[in-house]
Amino acid sequence: MRAGPTVPVTVVTGGSRGIGAATCLRLAAAGHRLALGYVSDSAAAEGVAAEVRARGAACVTVRVDTSEEADVDRLFDRARAELGAVTGLVNNAGVTGPLGRLADARPEDLRRVLDVNLLGYLLCCRRAARDMAASGGGAIVNVSSAAATLGAPGDYVHYAASKAGTDALTVGLSKELGADGIRVNAVAPGIIDTDMHAAMGDPDRAARSGPGIPLGRPGQPAEVAAAVAWLLSDEASYTTGTILRVAGGR
Ligand code: NAP
């Protein structure tokens, strides 16, 4: 069992849209207080926060770039000050950069993907580890990707590499933090119907993906959120270091 406060307080990065937004709504229904991080879309963040509050859960929105140490500290400081000791982290904020072969990629795009997806996850995990160890435990869920094992050739092998790093981070940190009562797991979604595909330059990507997926369709954000919520919950109290694939069979 997790020690600490009765009401879970969870930081969700990238909570304004897609998988992060669905996760906020799911966690609100499960009684979490939420610190919702986003980087640019204030209107989307406030819209999700309003839905969270309508479910009876407290929610603070914090504009942060998770690749910046000071921003990450500000996110966790606000969560602790306004909601209480942080018991959960959903490390979700991620980017892919444009689709294409590595040979054609621009270094600035590669650097941004590694900064947000890997350094950002490390900074958030580091701060969560410090806070949760001090307050008696907690749970971290890192949002990885099926690309970590599929490799995403021709699309974004750099992104796949960043997500393979997420998996290694999850396994290693789970062993490092077990004695502190902190569980660390990951979910690895397949193709999920979110804005991410438009951001990478292919808005119809999810809609076209069905024939290549054993379940015959892309996933919905809520289907990933359900896995995240379970991994954070006390029902997963003996689960740590696992990477739960939510990819329709891919
Ligand atoms: P999305 O719809 O594009 O949303 C991305 C979210 O991350 C937004 O809330 C965005 O904030 C935030 N964000 C981006 N960069 C940030 C930064 N530097 N600092 C803080 N927040 C930042 O993405 P999604 O599809 O839900 O993806 C969420 C996670 O799932 C990512 O880690 C992604 O790699 C992973 N994933 C997605 C898929 C898929 O098919 N969609 C598949 C496998 C894994 P703003 O709203 O302010 O821009």
Question: What domain range is 206 assigned to?
Answer: 9-246
Give yes or no for residue 65 CB within 6 A of ligand 1: yes
pLDDT at 6 (0 to 100): 76
Q: Is residue 2 part of a domain?
A: no
The secondary structure of 109-120 as a DSSP string is: HHHHHHIIIIIH
161 pLDDT more than 60: yes
Residue 84 above 90 pLDDT?
yes
Mean pLDDT of 201-230: 97
Average pLDDT over residues 40-50: 98
pLDDT of residue 12: 99
Average pLDDT, the chain: 97
Distance (angstroms) between ligand 1 centre and the Cα of 24 equals: 13
- The whole-angstrom separation of Cα 204 and Cα 243 is 28
Spacing, Cα 8 to ligand 1 middle (Å): 23
Report pLDDT for 151: 98
Identify the residue whose C-alpha is closest to ligand 1 atom 29: 92
236 within some domain = yes
Do residues 85 and 4 lie in contact, with contact meaning Cβ atoms separated by under 8 Å?
yes
pLDDT at 202: 94
Q: Is residue 3 included in any domain, yes or no?
A: no
* Predicted pLDDT of residue 1: 42
Is residue 74 a part of any domain in this protein? yes
Closest residue by CA, ligand 1 atom 3: 196
79-108 residues labelled b (16+ CB within 10 A) or e (exposed): bbeebbbbbbbbbbbbbbbebbeeeebeee
Catalytic annotation, residues: 159
Distance of CA 45 to the CA centre of its chain: 15
List the CATH number of the domain containing 193: 3.40.50.720
> Which protein residue has the closest C-alpha to ligand 1 atom 6?
14
Q: Which two tokens stand for residue 36?
A: 């919702």
Ligand 1 near 67 CB (within 6 A): yes
Residue 39 — very low, low, confident or very high, per pLDDT cuts 50/70/90? very high
Work out whether the CA dihedral 166, 171, 174, 177 comes out positive or negative. Answer: negative
